[in-house]
Chains A and B, each alone.
Chain A
């Protein structure tokens, strides 16, 4: 008994010592969203990066949330170096000093990237859109715009939107004839917010709501909804894996960018910068879209992408020029009040 306890004690001590050693010389850790997306990243970015640079890296996944990043930094035991974050976490974390400021000269300069993908603290990884989706087998001459989304005579049936004010107020204003470029200017005035809610009220009897990105394709498939707002990647995935004939309308679609950031005080900052340079290289970025239909952020990358996947790509110039960047600045300011108003509107 005693010997066993002693052995255990020694083993524990050894493990602790090893752990301490691992902390001192930690491999570069890269954190992304998991699932099919991270599988694609492994093939396109992670493995080639390790082969080329001989830098040891480990990849992990997370589900997002600024609270997680805050806790990592406040706890003082941050073991993440490079993290992929959504635009809201990027804005908040950069303000709060959770991320290193990027040296844009090493990434080739901001002007080489999509305008909304170059941030003080982050370089864009992917671009994806909220598009209008419908089932091409059920509607032959499908909706072309958000105005058609409101046309219940021509397209009878339920429509599904994401539960919450974000994206829906923009969509309502575009449907009401506001030019995409003027959407946030209009929403910044009380009259503009009223106008958006009034427009949503017109459609309310026909609206149902989704909360998880997997729902809109399911709603189209089950016939519960004839049109949906949906992530473009989910629609494309349903077509690919379930052999559906879902279509997308890119007019007035809303896009956002997920970015790579380096955690503040990372001991592997040099390797992290090398990693960012690698994943931002157009020659590497061009390999991502054929595996998963997200747009890539280097201006030169989209031109190199396989032409077969271009029509479904958010960064296809024909699609990009019809879409609007979701303003995190606006939503960080106004989400509390508009959430309250949206909930009240929904409950009436």
Chain B
């Protein structure tokens, strides 16, 4: 009996299991299109882009032999004759195949002047070598006799490089392989990353200070007037970001609305410089991001029964005490959601600071765009993106530990 009963219950358990599995499978199949969509349009391209921060195959593709030979090099004295000969063969082959340009571009990122060194070498190489490769190359350009040039080739031999990732945090590798800070006058990205977080933080605080009272008023008003006011929040939310940023330019510029009004009223004698300053960036970004703070706050505040406050007051709490002890703690999930949404969006801002900020107000995204679209240096663009992403993920982790992501509510 007992064994039979055991068999029966395990059969039931199996049936339950398979039913459960089928249910899970159905649920998964329903979400599969979305997962596939995310994979194809989001994860795969971003992943592919980020690999460009360390994958380095341009040189090996154009100069296959010398990039292989250089691996045997110790980095101190000049490489041996075989390496010189490999370079001669490679440059000659790359020149006739028309693949010298990407190699020259890659080497010039590391050492200025390498572009012309490579092309001049290609032009001047004789049809057949009459002297050893080393003598021939040294006769063409004395820089082939310096370890700096060979170090650049060794560092670019691939298949991976740390050049771009290190440059994204103002570091570089010297000829002997040790780490060094970028020259002071070229160091920039650590400072810009700090500035990016400072601006995003300031904008988040401003949004919270402005958005919290507004959401409170909206949540406590009768539904009809609250809805009317809510439209005022949503209308800018539905307006294009570019339009709203341009509106700030119209307001703030030298001969803009505010300056003309103040001049006419006689309040100022000369126009104020308001555009291309940090304050303009704060104002425009706060304006653009405010709805992302107000909406979750409003949604959470709507769910707090007004009787809580009334009960606290009737039990003798002062209004401020009742607010801080009873009301405010219940809004924290909304505050968490609003803060996270505003802050993470602000981190990636590009257009708004580019249009209303000055040169020292640009955030990291500006430099990503600079490398991606102006100088077409994908290695730097990907490295800076990775730096921003890593910093954001680290911050999200800290936030999760301190506040708890599961405590966040949108309403």
Contacts and interface: CB of A to CB of B under 8 A. Distances in A.
Nearest to A93: B101
Given A333-B112, A339-B375, A347 B185 contact: no
Interface string A325-341: 00001001111110111
B54 to A, nearest CB: 19
B42 interface: no
A197 interface: yes
Contact of B254 (A223, A332, A346): A223
Contacts of A332: 115-116
Interface in A70-109: 70, 73, 92, 95-97
B101 A92 contact: yes
Interface in A250-293: none
B273 to A, nearest CB: 8
Interface residues of A, number: 31
A344 interface: yes
Contacts of A333: 108, 112-113, 115-116
Interface in A204-244: 208-209, 222-224
Interface residues of B, number: 28
A213 to B, nearest CB: 16
A348 B360 contact: yes
Contacts of A344: 185-188
A341 B113 contact: no
A223 B187 CA distance: 34
Contacts of A334: 112-113
Interface in B105-134: 108-109, 112-113, 115-116, 119
A11 B367 CA distance: 50
Contacts of B375: 335-336, 339
Contact of A224 (B100, B115, B254): B254
Contacts of A209: 359
A67 interface: yes
B346 interface: no
Nearest to A164: B374
Contacts of A329: 116
8 contacts: A95-B101, A97-B98, A336-B108, A336-B112, A336-B375, A336-B377, A339-B375, A340-B186
Interface of A: 67, 70, 73, 92, 95-97, 163, 194, 197, 208-209, 222-224, 329, 332-337, 339-341, 343-348
Interface of B: 98, 100-101, 108-109, 112-113, 115-116, 119, 185-188, 191-192, 253-255, 276, 359-360, 362, 367, 370, 375-377
